[in-house]
Homo-oligomer: A and B are copies of this chain.
Amino acid sequence: MEKPHNGEAKEEAKGSICGYDSLHRLLKDNLNPHHFQEVSRLLTGLNCGKAVETIALPESAAALSVEHGFDLQAFSFSADKELLRQPRVVRVGLIQNSIALPTTVHFGDQKQAIFEKLKPIIEAAGSSGVNILCLQEAWMMPFAFCTREKRWCEFAEPVDGESTKFLRSFALKYNMVIISSILERDINHGEVIWNTSVVIGNHGNIIGKHRKNHIPRVGDFNESTYYMEGNTGHPVFETAFGKIGINICYGRHHPLNWLAFGLNGAEIVFNPSATVGELSEPMWPIEARNAAIANSYFVASINRVGTETFPNPFTSGDGKPAHADFGHFYGSSHVSAPDASCTPSLSRYRDGLLITDMDLNLCRQLKDKWGFRMTSRYELYADTLARYVKPEFEQQVISDPLLHRKPS
Protein backbone atom coordinates (compact mmCIF):
# COMPACT_ATOMS: atom_id res chain seq x y z
CA MET A 1 0.00 0.00 0.00
CA GLU A 2 1.28 3.44 -0.82
CA LYS A 3 -1.30 5.24 1.31
CA PRO A 4 -2.58 4.33 4.75
CA HIS A 5 -5.75 2.42 3.92
CA ASN A 6 -7.96 4.26 6.31
CA GLY A 7 -6.13 7.53 6.68
CA GLU A 8 -5.64 7.16 10.42
CA ALA A 9 -2.00 8.15 10.25
CA LYS A 10 -2.79 11.48 8.59
CA GLU A 11 -5.66 12.32 10.92
CA GLU A 12 -3.84 11.21 14.05
CA ALA A 13 -0.95 13.45 13.06
CA LYS A 14 -3.39 16.33 12.70
CA GLY A 15 -4.84 15.47 16.08
CA SER A 16 -1.49 15.34 17.72
CA ILE A 17 -0.54 18.74 16.31
CA CYS A 18 -3.60 20.06 18.09
CA GLY A 19 -2.61 17.81 21.00
CA TYR A 20 -6.05 16.43 21.72
CA ASP A 21 -8.10 13.30 21.33
CA SER A 22 -11.55 14.77 22.05
CA LEU A 23 -13.01 18.17 22.87
CA HIS A 24 -13.56 17.15 26.48
CA ARG A 25 -9.94 16.15 26.95
CA LEU A 26 -8.63 19.26 25.22
CA LEU A 27 -10.62 21.46 27.60
CA LYS A 28 -9.79 19.38 30.68
CA ASP A 29 -6.06 19.38 29.91
CA ASN A 30 -5.83 23.09 29.16
CA LEU A 31 -8.17 24.91 31.54
CA ASN A 32 -7.77 25.25 35.29
CA PRO A 33 -10.21 23.07 37.26
CA HIS A 34 -12.50 25.95 38.15
CA HIS A 35 -12.78 27.15 34.54
CA PHE A 36 -13.20 23.59 33.32
CA GLN A 37 -16.08 23.07 35.73
CA GLU A 38 -17.81 26.24 34.57
CA VAL A 39 -17.28 25.45 30.88
CA SER A 40 -18.63 21.94 31.49
CA ARG A 41 -21.69 23.38 33.18
CA LEU A 42 -22.40 25.69 30.25
CA LEU A 43 -21.62 23.17 27.54
CA THR A 44 -22.82 19.86 28.86
CA GLY A 45 -25.11 20.55 31.77
CA LEU A 46 -22.54 18.96 34.03
CA ASN A 47 -23.05 20.17 37.59
CA CYS A 48 -26.39 21.56 36.50
CA GLY A 49 -29.19 19.33 37.63
CA LYS A 50 -28.09 15.70 37.51
CA ALA A 51 -24.41 15.37 36.74
CA VAL A 52 -22.81 12.55 34.80
CA GLU A 53 -20.31 10.56 36.81
CA THR A 54 -17.65 8.10 35.76
CA ILE A 55 -18.23 4.46 36.69
CA ALA A 56 -15.80 1.64 37.39
CA LEU A 57 -15.57 -1.30 34.95
CA PRO A 58 -14.12 -4.81 35.38
CA GLU A 59 -10.36 -5.20 35.00
CA SER A 60 -10.97 -7.52 32.05
CA ALA A 61 -12.63 -4.75 30.03
CA ALA A 62 -9.81 -2.31 30.75
CA ALA A 63 -7.27 -4.97 29.80
CA LEU A 64 -9.02 -5.55 26.46
CA SER A 65 -9.01 -1.83 25.71
CA VAL A 66 -5.26 -1.62 26.38
CA GLU A 67 -4.44 -4.77 24.43
CA HIS A 68 -6.52 -3.80 21.41
CA GLY A 69 -5.98 -0.07 21.57
CA PHE A 70 -9.58 1.10 21.75
CA ASP A 71 -10.90 4.03 23.76
CA LEU A 72 -12.97 2.89 26.76
CA GLN A 73 -15.04 5.35 28.78
CA ALA A 74 -17.94 4.84 31.17
CA PHE A 75 -20.40 7.29 32.72
CA SER A 76 -23.60 7.33 34.70
CA PHE A 77 -26.68 9.55 34.59
CA SER A 78 -28.82 9.55 37.69
CA ALA A 79 -32.45 10.43 38.32
CA ASP A 80 -34.47 11.44 41.35
CA LYS A 81 -35.75 8.66 43.58
CA GLU A 82 -39.49 8.14 43.23
CA LEU A 83 -41.86 6.83 45.89
CA LEU A 84 -43.95 4.57 43.67
CA ARG A 85 -41.47 3.36 41.02
CA GLN A 86 -38.16 1.60 41.44
CA PRO A 87 -35.18 2.99 39.50
CA ARG A 88 -34.90 1.46 36.01
CA VAL A 89 -31.17 1.62 35.36
CA VAL A 90 -30.05 0.35 31.97
CA ARG A 91 -26.42 -0.05 30.90
CA VAL A 92 -25.94 0.97 27.28
CA GLY A 93 -22.86 0.30 25.17
CA LEU A 94 -21.91 2.12 21.96
CA ILE A 95 -19.13 0.91 19.64
CA GLN A 96 -17.35 3.08 17.08
CA ASN A 97 -14.68 1.66 14.78
CA SER A 98 -12.68 2.11 11.63
CA ILE A 99 -12.62 -0.59 8.97
CA ALA A 100 -10.04 -3.35 9.32
CA LEU A 101 -8.58 -3.95 5.86
CA PRO A 102 -8.05 -1.87 2.72
CA THR A 103 -11.13 -1.54 0.51
CA THR A 104 -9.19 -3.24 -2.29
CA VAL A 105 -9.06 -6.72 -0.74
CA HIS A 106 -11.69 -9.45 -1.19
CA PHE A 107 -15.06 -8.35 0.19
CA GLY A 108 -15.44 -11.51 2.24
CA ASP A 109 -12.08 -10.93 3.88
CA GLN A 110 -12.94 -7.30 4.62
CA LYS A 111 -16.14 -8.27 6.40
CA GLN A 112 -14.48 -11.11 8.32
CA ALA A 113 -11.69 -8.78 9.44
CA ILE A 114 -14.25 -6.32 10.82
CA PHE A 115 -15.87 -9.21 12.74
CA GLU A 116 -12.48 -10.13 14.21
CA LYS A 117 -11.72 -6.52 15.09
CA LEU A 118 -15.04 -6.10 16.88
CA LYS A 119 -14.86 -9.32 18.93
CA PRO A 120 -12.72 -7.95 21.79
CA ILE A 121 -14.74 -4.71 21.91
CA ILE A 122 -18.01 -6.65 22.13
CA GLU A 123 -16.42 -8.93 24.75
CA ALA A 124 -15.49 -5.84 26.77
CA ALA A 125 -19.08 -4.64 26.55
CA GLY A 126 -20.49 -8.02 27.50
CA SER A 127 -18.14 -8.57 30.40
CA SER A 128 -18.99 -5.06 31.65
CA GLY A 129 -22.64 -6.02 31.94
CA VAL A 130 -23.94 -3.96 29.04
CA ASN A 131 -27.70 -4.53 28.56
CA ILE A 132 -28.16 -2.88 25.16
CA LEU A 133 -25.30 -2.62 22.68
CA CYS A 134 -25.42 -0.59 19.47
CA LEU A 135 -22.95 -0.68 16.60
CA GLN A 136 -22.40 2.08 14.05
CA GLU A 137 -24.27 2.44 10.75
CA ALA A 138 -23.36 -0.22 8.16
CA TRP A 139 -20.70 -1.48 10.53
CA MET A 140 -20.00 -4.58 8.45
CA MET A 141 -18.54 -2.75 5.41
CA PRO A 142 -16.71 0.38 4.31
CA PHE A 143 -19.05 3.35 3.75
CA ALA A 144 -18.63 3.02 0.01
CA PHE A 145 -21.70 4.95 -1.14
CA CYS A 146 -19.56 7.94 -2.10
CA THR A 147 -18.33 5.95 -5.10
CA ARG A 148 -21.75 5.38 -6.69
CA GLU A 149 -20.37 1.98 -7.80
CA LYS A 150 -22.96 -0.77 -7.53
CA ARG A 151 -20.47 -3.53 -6.83
CA TRP A 152 -20.47 -2.59 -3.12
CA CYS A 153 -24.03 -3.94 -3.00
CA GLU A 154 -22.39 -7.35 -2.67
CA PHE A 155 -21.89 -6.50 1.01
CA ALA A 156 -25.66 -6.52 1.57
CA GLU A 157 -27.22 -9.32 3.63
CA PRO A 158 -30.71 -10.42 4.59
CA VAL A 159 -31.83 -9.50 8.10
CA ASP A 160 -30.92 -12.99 9.31
CA GLY A 161 -27.58 -13.07 7.46
CA GLU A 162 -24.02 -13.58 8.60
CA SER A 163 -23.75 -10.34 10.59
CA THR A 164 -26.83 -11.21 12.59
CA LYS A 165 -25.51 -14.75 13.13
CA PHE A 166 -22.18 -13.32 14.30
CA LEU A 167 -23.85 -11.00 16.81
CA ARG A 168 -26.57 -13.32 18.15
CA SER A 169 -23.92 -15.50 19.79
CA PHE A 170 -22.84 -12.50 21.87
CA ALA A 171 -26.45 -11.58 22.59
CA LEU A 172 -26.98 -15.05 24.03
CA LYS A 173 -23.63 -15.24 25.82
CA TYR A 174 -24.09 -11.91 27.59
CA ASN A 175 -27.89 -11.59 27.77
CA MET A 176 -27.58 -8.40 25.68
CA VAL A 177 -29.90 -6.70 23.24
CA ILE A 178 -27.80 -5.77 20.17
CA ILE A 179 -28.71 -3.20 17.52
CA SER A 180 -26.97 -4.02 14.28
CA SER A 181 -27.14 -1.60 11.34
CA ILE A 182 -26.47 -3.35 8.08
CA LEU A 183 -26.86 -2.95 4.36
CA GLU A 184 -29.93 -5.14 3.85
CA ARG A 185 -30.91 -7.13 0.79
CA ASP A 186 -34.67 -7.75 0.79
CA ILE A 187 -34.93 -11.15 -0.87
CA ASN A 188 -38.71 -11.25 -0.70
CA HIS A 189 -39.19 -7.95 -2.50
CA GLY A 190 -37.17 -8.07 -5.71
CA GLU A 191 -33.82 -8.19 -3.92
CA VAL A 192 -33.79 -4.43 -3.34
CA ILE A 193 -31.29 -2.82 -0.99
CA TRP A 194 -32.15 -1.01 2.27
CA ASN A 195 -30.24 0.71 5.06
CA THR A 196 -31.56 -1.26 8.02
CA SER A 197 -31.12 -1.73 11.75
CA VAL A 198 -31.74 -5.24 13.06
CA VAL A 199 -32.76 -5.53 16.70
CA ILE A 200 -31.46 -8.76 18.21
CA GLY A 201 -33.10 -9.75 21.50
CA ASN A 202 -31.21 -10.87 24.58
CA HIS A 203 -32.15 -14.47 23.77
CA GLY A 204 -30.51 -14.22 20.36
CA ASN A 205 -33.85 -13.84 18.61
CA ILE A 206 -34.56 -11.20 15.97
CA ILE A 207 -37.14 -8.84 17.47
CA GLY A 208 -37.54 -6.80 14.33
CA LYS A 209 -35.98 -4.31 11.95
CA HIS A 210 -36.18 -0.64 11.12
CA ARG A 211 -35.23 0.97 7.82
CA LYS A 212 -33.61 4.40 7.55
CA ASN A 213 -36.33 7.00 7.06
CA HIS A 214 -34.42 9.90 5.51
CA ILE A 215 -31.77 9.42 2.82
CA PRO A 216 -29.13 12.13 2.26
CA ARG A 217 -28.24 13.91 -0.95
CA VAL A 218 -25.39 16.03 0.41
CA GLY A 219 -21.65 16.08 -0.27
CA ASP A 220 -20.40 12.60 -1.04
CA PHE A 221 -23.38 10.96 0.65
CA ASN A 222 -24.73 9.36 -2.51
CA GLU A 223 -26.82 6.81 -0.67
CA SER A 224 -29.91 7.61 -2.71
CA THR A 225 -28.12 5.81 -5.54
CA TYR A 226 -28.45 2.58 -3.55
CA TYR A 227 -31.65 2.60 -1.48
CA MET A 228 -34.90 4.43 -0.92
CA GLU A 229 -36.56 6.02 2.11
CA GLY A 230 -37.55 3.37 4.68
CA ASN A 231 -41.02 1.83 4.75
CA THR A 232 -41.09 0.67 8.37
CA GLY A 233 -42.49 3.78 10.06
CA HIS A 234 -41.15 4.69 13.50
CA PRO A 235 -41.24 1.43 15.45
CA VAL A 236 -40.37 1.36 19.11
CA PHE A 237 -38.94 -2.01 20.18
CA GLU A 238 -40.04 -3.24 23.58
CA THR A 239 -36.99 -5.16 24.78
CA ALA A 240 -36.09 -6.78 28.09
CA PHE A 241 -34.28 -3.57 29.05
CA GLY A 242 -36.51 -0.78 27.81
CA LYS A 243 -38.36 0.74 24.88
CA ILE A 244 -35.95 1.80 22.19
CA GLY A 245 -36.04 3.45 18.77
CA ILE A 246 -33.40 3.80 16.07
CA ASN A 247 -32.93 7.01 14.10
CA ILE A 248 -30.38 6.05 11.46
CA CYS A 249 -27.73 8.66 10.53
CA TYR A 250 -29.18 11.48 8.36
CA GLY A 251 -32.54 11.11 10.10
CA ARG A 252 -30.95 13.05 12.98
CA HIS A 253 -31.34 16.26 10.95
CA HIS A 254 -35.12 15.84 10.95
CA PRO A 255 -36.88 16.94 14.17
CA LEU A 256 -40.09 15.23 13.01
CA ASN A 257 -38.29 11.90 12.78
CA TRP A 258 -37.09 12.25 16.38
CA LEU A 259 -40.59 13.35 17.39
CA ALA A 260 -42.29 10.28 15.93
CA PHE A 261 -40.11 7.87 17.94
CA GLY A 262 -41.04 9.85 21.03
CA LEU A 263 -44.77 9.74 20.24
CA ASN A 264 -44.47 5.96 19.95
CA GLY A 265 -43.00 5.76 23.45
CA ALA A 266 -39.23 5.46 23.03
CA GLU A 267 -37.10 6.09 26.13
CA ILE A 268 -33.77 5.64 24.35
CA VAL A 269 -33.23 6.48 20.68
CA PHE A 270 -30.02 5.26 19.07
CA ASN A 271 -28.43 7.19 16.22
CA PRO A 272 -25.96 4.90 14.42
CA SER A 273 -24.16 7.16 11.96
CA ALA A 274 -21.34 7.62 9.49
CA THR A 275 -20.45 11.26 9.02
CA VAL A 276 -17.35 13.30 8.23
CA GLY A 277 -15.71 16.31 9.86
CA GLU A 278 -15.79 18.88 7.10
CA LEU A 279 -19.51 18.40 6.64
CA SER A 280 -21.22 17.95 9.98
CA GLU A 281 -18.95 18.15 13.01
CA PRO A 282 -20.35 21.37 14.57
CA MET A 283 -23.90 19.98 14.18
CA TRP A 284 -23.11 16.61 15.76
CA PRO A 285 -23.73 17.35 19.47
CA ILE A 286 -26.37 20.01 18.77
CA GLU A 287 -28.90 17.82 17.00
CA ALA A 288 -28.54 14.87 19.38
CA ARG A 289 -28.85 16.97 22.51
CA ASN A 290 -31.77 18.93 21.10
CA ALA A 291 -33.62 15.70 20.33
CA ALA A 292 -33.05 14.43 23.89
CA ILE A 293 -34.31 17.70 25.37
CA ALA A 294 -37.30 18.17 23.07
CA ASN A 295 -38.52 14.57 23.36
CA SER A 296 -37.64 13.79 27.00
CA TYR A 297 -35.65 10.66 26.13
CA PHE A 298 -32.02 9.56 25.98
CA VAL A 299 -30.15 9.79 22.69
CA ALA A 300 -27.17 7.52 22.02
CA SER A 301 -25.06 8.76 19.09
CA ILE A 302 -22.42 6.70 17.30
CA ASN A 303 -20.15 7.73 14.44
CA ARG A 304 -17.49 5.65 12.72
CA VAL A 305 -13.81 6.67 12.77
CA GLY A 306 -10.97 6.92 10.30
CA THR A 307 -10.69 7.79 6.62
CA GLU A 308 -11.67 5.20 4.03
CA THR A 309 -9.89 5.22 0.69
CA PHE A 310 -11.43 3.60 -2.39
CA PRO A 311 -9.81 2.08 -5.48
CA ASN A 312 -11.36 4.40 -8.08
CA PRO A 313 -11.32 8.18 -7.61
CA PHE A 314 -14.71 9.90 -7.71
CA THR A 315 -15.95 13.48 -7.95
CA SER A 316 -18.07 15.28 -5.38
CA GLY A 317 -20.15 17.61 -7.51
CA ASP A 318 -18.25 20.57 -6.06
CA GLY A 319 -16.18 21.36 -9.12
CA LYS A 320 -13.02 20.03 -7.47
CA PRO A 321 -10.81 17.26 -8.90
CA ALA A 322 -11.62 13.60 -8.34
CA HIS A 323 -10.30 12.05 -5.13
CA ALA A 324 -10.33 8.63 -3.52
CA ASP A 325 -11.39 9.18 0.08
CA PHE A 326 -14.54 10.31 1.83
CA GLY A 327 -12.92 12.55 4.45
CA HIS A 328 -12.42 11.86 8.14
CA PHE A 329 -15.12 10.04 10.10
CA TYR A 330 -14.67 11.77 13.43
CA GLY A 331 -16.04 9.25 15.94
CA SER A 332 -17.09 11.34 18.96
CA SER A 333 -19.83 8.93 20.06
CA HIS A 334 -21.71 10.16 23.13
CA VAL A 335 -25.00 10.01 25.06
CA SER A 336 -27.41 12.92 25.62
CA ALA A 337 -29.95 12.98 28.42
CA PRO A 338 -33.40 14.60 28.57
CA ASP A 339 -32.21 17.04 31.24
CA ALA A 340 -29.78 18.64 28.72
CA SER A 341 -26.71 16.98 30.20
CA CYS A 342 -24.46 14.75 28.11
CA THR A 343 -21.45 12.51 28.46
CA PRO A 344 -18.02 13.42 27.14
CA SER A 345 -17.42 11.98 23.68
CA LEU A 346 -15.20 9.10 22.63
CA SER A 347 -12.04 9.81 20.67
CA ARG A 348 -12.13 11.54 17.28
CA TYR A 349 -9.50 9.14 16.00
CA ARG A 350 -9.63 5.73 17.67
CA ASP A 351 -12.01 2.80 17.92
CA GLY A 352 -13.98 2.99 21.12
CA LEU A 353 -16.56 1.63 23.51
CA LEU A 354 -18.72 4.05 25.49
CA ILE A 355 -20.66 2.56 28.41
CA THR A 356 -23.42 4.60 30.02
CA ASP A 357 -25.78 3.84 32.87
CA MET A 358 -29.09 5.65 32.64
CA ASP A 359 -32.13 5.54 34.87
CA LEU A 360 -35.04 5.58 32.44
CA ASN A 361 -37.21 7.15 35.13
CA LEU A 362 -35.50 10.41 34.19
CA CYS A 363 -37.60 10.56 30.99
CA ARG A 364 -40.96 10.91 32.72
CA GLN A 365 -39.46 13.10 35.42
CA LEU A 366 -38.43 15.57 32.72
CA LYS A 367 -41.85 15.35 31.04
CA ASP A 368 -43.43 16.28 34.36
CA LYS A 369 -40.90 19.05 35.04
CA TRP A 370 -40.82 20.82 31.69
CA GLY A 371 -44.21 19.77 30.31
CA PHE A 372 -43.13 19.78 26.67
CA ARG A 373 -45.66 17.11 25.67
CA MET A 374 -48.47 18.81 27.55
CA THR A 375 -47.75 22.21 25.96
CA SER A 376 -47.05 20.94 22.45
CA ARG A 377 -50.38 21.80 20.75
CA TYR A 378 -50.11 18.83 18.38
CA GLU A 379 -53.59 19.56 16.99
CA LEU A 380 -52.31 22.88 15.67
CA TYR A 381 -49.38 21.26 13.90
CA ALA A 382 -51.38 18.31 12.58
CA ASP A 383 -53.49 20.96 10.86
CA THR A 384 -50.44 22.93 9.67
CA LEU A 385 -48.82 19.89 8.09
CA ALA A 386 -52.07 18.67 6.54
CA ARG A 387 -52.41 22.05 4.83
CA TYR A 388 -48.72 22.30 3.92
CA VAL A 389 -48.60 19.06 1.94
CA LYS A 390 -51.40 20.20 -0.36
CA PRO A 391 -50.33 21.81 -3.65
CA GLU A 392 -52.54 24.82 -2.96
CA PHE A 393 -50.89 25.59 0.44
CA GLU A 394 -50.53 29.30 1.09
CA GLN A 395 -47.94 30.63 3.50
CA GLN A 396 -49.18 32.78 6.40
CA VAL A 397 -47.48 36.05 5.44
CA ILE A 398 -48.29 39.54 6.72
CA SER A 399 -46.76 42.09 4.36
CA ASP A 400 -45.94 45.62 5.36
CA PRO A 401 -48.47 47.63 3.29
CA LEU A 402 -45.87 50.39 2.98
CA LEU A 403 -43.32 48.00 1.53
CA HIS A 404 -43.55 49.22 -2.02
CA ARG A 405 -44.54 52.78 -1.20
CA LYS A 406 -42.89 55.44 -3.34
CA PRO A 407 -40.70 57.85 -1.32
CA SER A 408 -42.86 60.89 -0.47
Taking Cβ atoms with an 8 Å cutoff, the residues of A that contact B are: 18-20, 23, 26-27, 30-32, 34-35, 38-39, 41-45, 48, 199, 201, 203, 205, 207-208, 213-218, 229, 233-240, 243, 250, 253-256, 258-260, 263-265, 278, 280-283, 286-287, 289-290, 293-294, 340-341, 369-372, 374-382, 384-386, 388-389, 395-403, 405
Contact = CB atoms under 8 A, between A and B. Distances in A.
Q: How many copies does the complex hold?
A: 2
A88 to B, nearest CB: 15
A218 B382 contact: no
A102 B239 CA distance: 56
A48 B208 CA distance: 39
Contacts of A399: 207, 237-238
B290 A286 contact: yes
B375 A217 contact: yes
Contacts of A263: 384, 388, 395
A166 B200 CA distance: 65
Contacts of A377: 213-214, 229, 254, 256
Contacts of A402: 201, 203, 205
B260 A384 contact: yes
A234 B377 CA distance: 13
Given A253-B370, A377-B213, A381-B260, A41 B207 contact: no
12 contacts: A44-B282, A201-B402, A207-B401, A217-B375, A229-B375, A255-B256, A255-B259, A282-B341, A286-B290, A286-B293, A381-B385, A382-B389
A400 B201 contact: yes
A397 B18 contact: no
Nearest to A210: B398
Nearest to A381: B256
A319 B27 CA distance: 37
Nearest to A253: B372
B403 A264 contact: no
B264 A396 contact: yes
Given A30-B32, A31-B31, A42-B281, A382 B379 contact: no
B239 A375 contact: no
A253 B293 contact: yes
Contact of A238 (B239, B278, B389, B400): B400
A174 to B, nearest CB: 16
Given A26-B39, A207-B398, A381-B385, 8 more contacts: A20-B38, A44-B282, A48-B278, A48-B282, A205-B402, A379-B389, A382-B386, A382-B389
Contacts of A380: 213
Nearest to A290: B290
A43 to B, nearest CB: 7
B376 A254 contact: yes
B403 A235 contact: no
Contacts of A218: 369-371
A397 B238 contact: yes
A363 to B, nearest CB: 14
A400 B203 CA distance: 10
A266 to B, nearest CB: 9
Contacts of A382: 382, 385-386, 388-389
A397 B235 contact: yes
A207 B254 contact: no
A381 B251 CA distance: 13
Given A213-B377, A340-B286, A398-B235, A30 B26 contact: no
B255 A255 contact: yes
A236 B395 contact: yes
